[in-house]
Structure 1
């Protein structure tokens, strides 16, 4: 979301050449894209990558920003053994084996660079768009569906508010559960789901972008904090509306406040709850299909609805049971 703020500023500065937009329709028009400008060869890129590119504005090129080449998969038992050796050698008084095992994965696999936007966990709510109808009315409709989807996870504890930023490109709806530990600690980006006020409009899609409507379509973009209970997300089940959940690799999460030592204790539990992933995937909430970007990971799924765990439950439990290793 922080990168969205930066992008919004760039868009507004650019628009000064023509006069800065003021109404929701003007901002939507400024933010809209022609689908053919974001077409990727279907023989070279997966459907998830082709779907995500116009949403994230991070073009895959070679190894850079190419999630299809993102692969973290090693023997977890071997990793835990090596982890213990590293812990002893490091001189660190306490270590989290699961976290250290992930550090090993980070060092040994993917070598490309990843844009920060690809580290943002995002819910996409997609439906057809009609340029002849009221733009802001359509924006509000798709935003409300996204809000309801996120609020349903929190149930009667859900709190919805506005972030209070007047600039429409920076304005967003905040959705949170006050009982969340990060909300109680006032960790803004770890507490709130943020639904962007100005949705994305893609124009003239003629099979350029897969899994979305042909012609014009509109997408509400909702940023979900790390640790959000994504396992409870379900489709809003409205005809003509498709919802996708993009789960980034945890290594690429750029929420600086999360990577504090005191917060890493949550990682193991979230992994067991399927709230984080080592390899990125896109999930269709309507069909429940889980689509990994890398075909080697897809090949290891039990079926198209299953998650692939780099660390099986037994290895994860072993790591958790040893998470505090004291060095004398």
Structure 2
């Protein structure tokens, strides 16, 4: 393990400190996480599901993609980019973007990825890497379950709440079973196992492409809010906002407001019904080409700017040497 750490840490002496990130580095992390997670979400929708009694066994998303990126790169920008890629490259290309109400899922997924990314202090620590996808799924599904339960409770007439105990109990059981299934499939099979294989192999190899140092176990990222504020109050506020959006969406649906606030920006063409399942692969290919194309362009521009800055520094140093020699 020590040799791996040394090998992975070798680029640290040659690369600049990644804090703070430059604008181009933030953009590269954002675009890369958007592309890979968005394409992964499209592929996950192709994976068949199996019905076993009341349970639907299938993969909800490939959590290892977001966790590996968040474990190696800046977890904040990965947490912003990954759910954004799901909205742009998956939902819109598949024609399933319901508008402003999608912000509910964005907040829950972003929070889950950020917590999981900060959990990995050392990308070579197998326990941390294995736990991160499971934690991501738990944060995402538990927060979503709380929101769903809140919607059900608020949607029930208080006068008949006692009569609806069976309904509430059945809903709680269904939510619990859904969490267990998602942890097994998305958290372990398509989360921890691939992450355990990919993370140590990419550690020290992906970061230099963006001019970043590999994560230092002695100085890992710590969960913080905007401008260094405490993280957990911000996290609770994000969940409250997600719950408010969910309740607003349910209320507008209940009263029959088709053009309400939650549906602003909705984009739901029937691409899959029109072109069949082949459209899923076309959408994945388009997203991959566009996303990686933007990533490569930004990387080339960043390298050219870095080279120009290095040449300018070298020229300035030569001029200073000449001036000093003239005296």
* TM-score, length basis structure 1: 0.21
Q: Which structure has the bigger radius of gyration?
A: 2
* TM-score, length basis structure 2: 0.21
- Bigger proportion of residues as helix: 2
- Bigger proportion of residues as strand: 1
